[in-house]
Copies of this chain bind each other. A is one copy, B any other.
Amino acid sequence: MRAKIYITLKSGILDPQGKAIEHALSVLGFKGVKEARVGKYMELVLAPGPIDQVEKSIKEMCEKLLANTVIETYRYELDPKE
């Protein structure tokens, strides 16, 4: 079972990495970039199990370790077939 987890900064939180990328892209000549936000993308291969229990443990993993829920939000997609 494969879980795809997306962790992004909450809106309103300054994203220095994003700002650095915006600047670098404009220096490289890319003019149409209005904003860049950078986050984390994780893929977890999990042992198969009942979907609700797997989802519960994904939420716990995100809240305990993977995301800093003070400044970040997370969302995930679960692919039971993979």
User: Chain A interface (Cβ within 8 Å of chain B)?
Assistant: 6-8, 18, 21, 24-25, 28, 30-47, 49, 54, 57, 60-61, 64-66
CB A80 to nearest CB in B, in angstroms, measures 13
What number of copies of this chain does the assembly contain? 2
Known A-B contacts A21-B42, A42-B21; A47 and B30 likewise in contact (beta carbons under 8 Å): no
Q: List 10 A-B contacts (CB under 8 A).
A: A25-B65, A28-B61, A30-B60, A30-B61, A32-B49, A35-B44, A35-B45, A37-B43, A38-B41, A39-B42
> In the bound complex, how far is the Cα of B44 from the Cα of A31, in angstroms?
12
Residues of the B chain whose Cβ atoms lie less than 8 Å from the Cβ of A64: 28
Known A-B contacts A61-B25, A65-B21; A44 and B33 likewise in contact (beta carbons under 8 Å): yes
> In the bound complex, how far is the Cα of B33 from the Cα of A3, in angstroms?
10
